[in-house]
Structure 1
């Protein structure tokens, strides 16, 4: 009989949250809990970290821009003015509190209360019954030095974090942070989506002008564009960047580019054509060439695949992008990705790569694909990335962990990241670590894994921290 613990139903915030056995507790408290955090992909704003100023309210740190919470509020029928509109901070907080008791079995229920617990020390269910006391306690704490952005990051034991940055960014805030007394390493990540994906012609040409200005290169062809992007890769590298990232709704065909399309693109850039006929071909061509540049710099490249974005045109025009109107895509992309990886690998230009999959029906497909391009001396050179976005929840993480365990090596996995715009989301590392220890602990007690706490504990520590540190070589 396994040693399953009985947990007090009222004590969801107990120290043993998610840890359903004594062995799981031993793994978590003895090996996982106190390992440092490397959050190698997030959307935190470097200016907020650099300026290190008090947040104006709990709404500012907790609700602003959080499209997970926004979607839940819309599902509950909350009026948009209380979500992304002009309602007061306290009104928005009250409307979110109204929704929280109804988020049962949604990951937001766990995340919300973990974020209240750490760093605010609030160990009670949030509802309209205690909204005033919770709001005021959060607000009072946010005025204290221990709740400044840098202090919150330190509280979560973050050793390194990597923001997501436009190639045209001057990285001034990263420079300021580097030259300050802040001990957490804050590094930029090169995200060139706006320059290789034509979604809106006007916006695309505006981005090209911005890149021209910062690179001091007149962009009249794809060669000029790639030269300008390479100059920014150099600049990012000089300022600590070692990672690139691409958000792709589908994986483009990297073999479609032609001389005719090159000539058309030149006409498009000069304004002689109002649109470009084959944005996918352009994206594929530029992506492959950028991958070669990343390999030259020995960077790690990331591909986020499987989202269909901005599905609600009315709300896109009203609020803009990243507002909670995205979904999982059903487009198949693995074969194209494999072909590009093979071409780069044959040319000696395939750098370390992380592939994040948003469509769970492709988990096994991608787990087998990434295993085709390993290299001596690098553990799992091509990684099946952590469950993300809609899959960043208990079942999604379990599926990703189990798929990687069955088809690859979970022991070489580089672990969790937040992929978030909120400083409070670092609690997701703890959530992942608890879940990981519960999975291993349960299988140890069932006789499926060795009853050797030190052996398994060392694997847990590798997944939580050591593999990540070795993989990125920061």
Structure 2
């Protein structure tokens, strides 16, 4: 058969035979363990409605920025991929053909690996994608998606997901989560409090959002009222099962301001009169306040830092935000987080998980911070770094200073539902390879490596995210 592909059983494991044998055994210990996904972006409505997936293009391409950004770099217009208003000429099949025509550009990328894992492992498609096989594979996928076994809830059970966290607006009523909790779906679907748009005065619509927040909670338009409104919404999330609050910031900057200065800044940002320096100071104080609230209410605080959002202005103007042109920035944590850590870093009941897309910070800042402060954990390789080689570099950079137990466990951080098992499997294989190397070097005993392999997929994320 043209382009037949067989998934290699030892993929991502070491090449050297003796090390590979150890890694294989470590991997098989955890390969079928249930998935704990404490940070992601799957829409809970997907599981509540349990509607069949529409078509291969919608499932694999249109909503996956990993895919569309590389196709765009290879010359495909985003509009032709279903991004933005209006349907592309030729419809979903033509979008799929575009992916097939450019399949070679995904060679060696994490995106290409995940897509192959989804096609083979989830859908049972063993043919290699390409221009000659595009239509046949498209039709085969459509046939699968029409079957009850490939609807979202059936796949959720098949994937073995024990915990799946979504990411939600502070004013969301969380009705989908209530319905899912009462539906009998095995596993927990928990919301995550994501307040960025209500904290950052530089974001468009900030004032209107804060006014809606105050109105929804009946709080006065004072800084104290604003804090009380945020605390009220956090309590609403906790009542619906939330375990964490997520913060996406360009720079992890914190500031401990006195109440009078905070009130003056609040009035300035709410009126739209604040200059960029005042906006920056206000956001820094709010990140500090988020840590204070996490001490009070127990929500784990995750900080995803160092990304220039919507880097391409023409693309933003034509297609809107979150359309694949976010670019990593150099990031530093040590000085920016010091005010927060001076006040709260020694609290053992506070969990702060720090994520970066700047690899230079792994050994220079994040591992030393997590290696001293009880409150700090190093987040798993995230976004542009959640690939096999990057995971190995992460382990090498962090482990010598912070060990395994000051890290978060794997975080898939995905909207692409079908990629969840592929991403977790990638991490399990990469960690098995790393542990096997330590065993072969005499740096770990095999029983200790086995215990760590178990804990990386279960005990560690459970402890860090207070599950």
* Distance in 1 separating the partners of 2:117 and 2:272: 55
1:399 corresponds in structure 2 to 393
1:325 corresponds in structure 2 to 325
Shift of 1:350: 6.6
Contact 2:4 2:128 in 1 (8 A): no
Over residues 120-172 of structure 1, what are the superposed CA-to-partner deviations in whole Å (9 max), with x where a residue is unaligned?
A: 01123211121112111111111111111122222211100111111111000
Q: 1:75 aligns with which of 73, 97, 101?
A: 73
Structure 1 residues 112 and 272, CA gap change in structure 2 (3 angstroms): closer
Structure 1 residues 278 and 149, CA gap change in structure 2 (3 angstroms): same
Contact 2:62 2:68 in 1 (8 A): no
Structure 1 residues 92 and 25, CA gap change in structure 2 (3 angstroms): same
2:300 corresponds in structure 1 to 300
2:97 corresponds in structure 1 to 94
Trace 1:135-154 onto structure 2 (pairs within 5 A).
135-154=138-157
* Distance in 2 separating the partners of 1:81 and 1:223: 45
- Any idea what SS the aligned residue of 2:172 has? coil
Contact 1:255 1:281 in 2 (8 A): no
Structure 1 residues 275 and 403, CA gap change in structure 2 (3 angstroms): closer
* Aligned length, in residue pairs: 453
- Matching of residue 439 in structure 1 with residue 434 in structure 2: yes
- Any idea what SS the aligned residue of 1:324 has? coil
- Any idea what SS the aligned residue of 2:304 has? strand
Contact 2:268 2:274 in 1 (8 A): no
Contact 1:257 1:281 in 2 (8 A): no
Shift of 1:263: 2.9
- Any idea what SS the aligned residue of 2:129 has? coil
* Distance in 2 separating the partners of 1:285 and 1:412: 26
Contact 1:152 1:423 in 2 (8 A): no
Structure 1 residues 411 and 205, CA gap change in structure 2 (3 angstroms): closer
Bigger shift: residues 93-102 or 337-346: 337-346
Shift of 1:200: 3.4
* Distance in 1 separating the partners of 2:353 and 2:169: 19
- Any idea what SS the aligned residue of 1:38 has? strand
1:230 corresponds in structure 2 to 231
Over residues 29-67 of structure 1, what are the superposed CA-to-partner deviations in whole Å (9 max), with x where a residue is unaligned?
A: 1x1101111000001111111111111111122112211
2:43 corresponds in structure 1 to 45
Over residues 257-299 of structure 1, what are the superposed CA-to-partner deviations in whole Å (9 max), with x where a residue is unaligned?
A: 6735633532553x48487761111112222122111111222
- Any idea what SS the aligned residue of 1:301 has? strand
Shift of 1:320: 1.7
* Distance in 2 separating the partners of 1:432 and 1:33: 10
Structure 1 residues 260 and 276, CA gap change in structure 2 (3 angstroms): farther
2:17 corresponds in structure 1 to none
1:421 corresponds in structure 2 to 415
1:285 corresponds in structure 2 to 285
Structure 1 residues 213 and 366, CA gap change in structure 2 (3 angstroms): same
Over residues 363-397 of structure 1, what are the superposed CA-to-partner deviations in whole Å (9 max), with x where a residue is unaligned?
A: 111110122212xxxxxx52111001111112221
Contact 1:111 1:428 in 2 (8 A): yes
1:378 corresponds in structure 2 to none
Trace 1:238-387 onto structure 2 (pairs within 5 A).
238-255=239-256, 259=260, 262-263=263-264, 265-266=266-267, 268-269=269-270, 271=271, 273=273, 278-345=278-345, 348=347, 351-364=350-363, 365-374=365-374, 381-387=375-381
Over residues 315-374 of structure 1, what are the superposed CA-to-partner deviations in whole Å (9 max), with x where a residue is unaligned?
A: 11222221111111124332111331122236x597111101111111111110122212
In the alignment, structure 1 segments of 5+ residues that lack a partner are 1-8, 375-380
- Any idea what SS the aligned residue of 2:396 has? helix
Over residues 214-265 of structure 1, what are the superposed CA-to-partner deviations in whole Å (9 max), with x where a residue is unaligned?
A: 32324x2221111100000111111111111100100224146673563353
Contact 1:414 1:465 in 2 (8 A): no
Over residues 76-117 of structure 1, what are the superposed CA-to-partner deviations in whole Å (9 max), with x where a residue is unaligned?
A: 111222221531111111111212222112212211101111
Shift of 1:187: 0.3
- Any idea what SS the aligned residue of 1:55 has? coil
1:3 corresponds in structure 2 to none
Q: TM-score, normalised by structure 1?
A: 0.90
* Distance in 2 separating the partners of 1:298 and 1:425: 30
Structure 1 residues 277 and 24, CA gap change in structure 2 (3 angstroms): closer
Bigger shift: residues 102-111 or 226-235: 102-111
